[in-house]
Amino acid sequence: MKKTALLLALTLGACVPVSFIVQQDPAQVPQKSQPVAIVVDQSSIQARQLLPVLQQQMTAQGIDVVADPQSAVWVLNFTVQNQFDTTETKNGTAIAPGSTVQINLVSADDFRAGRNKPMWSASSNSNPTVLNDRAQDIIKIMLQHYGQNFVGGGIAP
């Protein structure tokens, strides 16, 4: 994984700062051909706004998206959270806004039973301006690692 992140950094040169963590539970590995229903965190306005981008990128990656969780093998939970990150400096506390995009994939059976046990998870962290300007690129990178593990950062300017 470290080689992948280093290669990504060397390839991109100067990058837009975004960090990615993608994790796969080896117990069940999703296949792109298995139907996936999307559930969006309704409390997040930004998640609802980015839903068309997510759907477009899933289709572009060859992931079979279905509307009904009853006909799905997997359910993808999608949320965006905005928060303030604080850092202690020698001059006091620095406060900076942050945005986290979180995608969790759970089996449809677990979802219908009320269990939220992710089998695959992807998370990105950036500042809100980067997310607003580069949402398509951020979601694309997350979905390029569907069913895999990945840690990396940066998006080409």
The answer to whether residues 74 and 106 touch, using CB atoms and an 8 Å cutoff, is yes
Distance CA(146)–CA(73), nearest Å, equals 15
Distance CA(65)–CA(18), nearest Å, equals 26
| Digit-coded pLDDT (tens) for 70-112 | 999 999 999 999 888 777 888 888 888 888 999 999 999 999 9
The answer to whether residues 19 and 144 touch, using CB atoms and an 8 Å cutoff, is no
Rg, Å, the chain Cα set? 16
Amino acid at 122: A
Q: What is the DSSP string of 14-41?
A: S-EEEEEEEEE-TT----TTS-EEEEE-
* Residue-range domain boundaries for the chain: 2-155
What is the assigned CATH class of domain 2-155?
A: alpha beta
| Digit-coded pLDDT (tens) for 118-130 | 999 999 999 888 8
pLDDT of 42 reads 87
The answer to whether residues 96 and 71 touch, using CB atoms and an 8 Å cutoff, is no
